Amino acid sequence: MLERVKTSIIAPGNLIKYRNDRLYKVFLYMLFFAVLMTTSTIIMLISFNGIDGATKRAIENNYQPPENACVIEDSTLSCDEPMSHVAYEGFGTEFIIDSNPSLDTSDYSGFTYTFVLHGDSLHAVVLGMSVEEIPISSLDSSLHNLDLNPGEAEEDAFFDAIFDTVDETIVDTKPLWGTVMIITNLISALFLFNMFVLINTFLIQRRMQKVPFKQMYTMMTYASTLLFVVLVFDSMWQLNLFLFLILLLIAFRQTSKLTLEIQKRLYKR
């Protein structure tokens, strides 16, 4: 693998000698960079121990109390009327107050991390499935009796109770939602890399139909190494836009060098 990385950076024209590599090697090569692209997510998960101050202020500003009176009494949700209310939405997370007689998690099938307060439990819902049910009685005691329609005088105590509970819940369920996040990012990176390589292969192979598609796909994967590296660094450090564009042009130049080498060998007489 390291030999292919070195060749793709120093002499991309020589990637032709790897054109007959088995597809599983090509996939593992791409998977290696996809794993590197999830490194920033893994580091964030390891260091995460609760929501930060800026996020807490955003939650305070965007919290929408239910239209009907709702309270938690003796660790059980009670509202004047059955309803499903989005109390907060942001940062890829939703907090729902659901006082319907039964909970239908399929109603919350979006691509967000959803926490649903229902009955005597807090449900962690991912893609419409309740992946964890946490009894309210097991959460911070400040949540066992709480008015979900706080007045101005009670807002500070209300949000303190919410944040203590949210931090506790998020940290306790981190292995679950963290795993989902890592797998999602990994699949997204693989999809992004593969789509770029497939499109590039299709466009170039149309001009060089003498080269089998599989061989062209293999060579274009290796030739895209610098692009993969640029995307990995950008995911870790959020590169300056100008620097990102410069590196992207350099990455595309490597693909062009390989294309020129293929043309030279195809039409050499």
pLDDT one-digit tens code per residue, 85-132: 999 888 778 889 999 988 888 888 776 778 899 999 988 888 778 778
Both 249 and 143 in a single domain? no
Looking at the structure, tell me whether residues 152 and 243 fall in a common domain: no
- Do 59 and 105 share a structural domain? yes
Give the model's confidence band at 267: pLDDT under 50 very low, under 70 low, under 90 confident, else very high.
Answer: low
Task: Give the pLDDT of residue 160.
Answer: 85
How is residue 123 written in tokens? 């449900």
pLDDT digits (tens, 9 = 90+) for 135-147: 989 887 888 888 8
Question: Over 80: is that where the pLDDT of 245 sits?
Answer: no
The domain boundary, picked from 173, 200, 227, lies at 173
Indicate if 154 and 207 belong to the same structural domain: no
> Could you tell me if 136 and 216 lie in one domain?
no
Q: Are residues 100 and 189 located together in one domain of the fold? A: no
Is there a single domain that holds both residue 137 and residue 199? no
Query: Do 54 and 119 fall into the same domain?
Result: yes
Residue with more model confidence, 267 or 256: 256
Give the rounded percent of residues in the chain with a pLDDT score beyond 90. 18
Q: Which of 109, 142, 173 is the last residue of a domain?
A: 173
- H/E element holding 71? strand 70-73
Decide: 112 and 184 in contact? Cβ < 8 Å. Answer: no
Residues 38, 68 share a domain: no
Give the model's confidence band at 35: pLDDT under 50 very low, under 70 low, under 90 confident, else very high: very high
Q: Is the pTM of this model over 0.85?
A: no
Answer with the one of 148, 173, 198 that is the final residue of a domain.
173
pLDDT class for 151, splitting at 50, 70, 90? confident
Mean pLDDT of 185-191: 92
214 and 148 in a single domain? The answer is no
Domain that holds residue 110: 50-173
* Average pLDDT of the residues of the chain: 84
- Residue-level pLDDT at 74: 92
Q: What local confidence, expressed as pLDDT, does residue 24 receive?
A: 92
- pLDDT at 268 (0 to 100): 63
CA distance 54 to 208: 54
Number of separate domains in the chain: 2
Domain shared by 137 and 200, yes or no: no
Q: What is the mean pLDDT of residues 72-77?
A: 92
Asked whether residue 164 falls in the same domain as residue 184, the answer is: no
Euclidean distance between CA atoms 249 and 135, whole angstroms: 54
* Token pair belonging to 45: 């998960």
Give the relative orientation of helices 225-237 and 174-207 as an angle to the nearest 10 degrees.
150
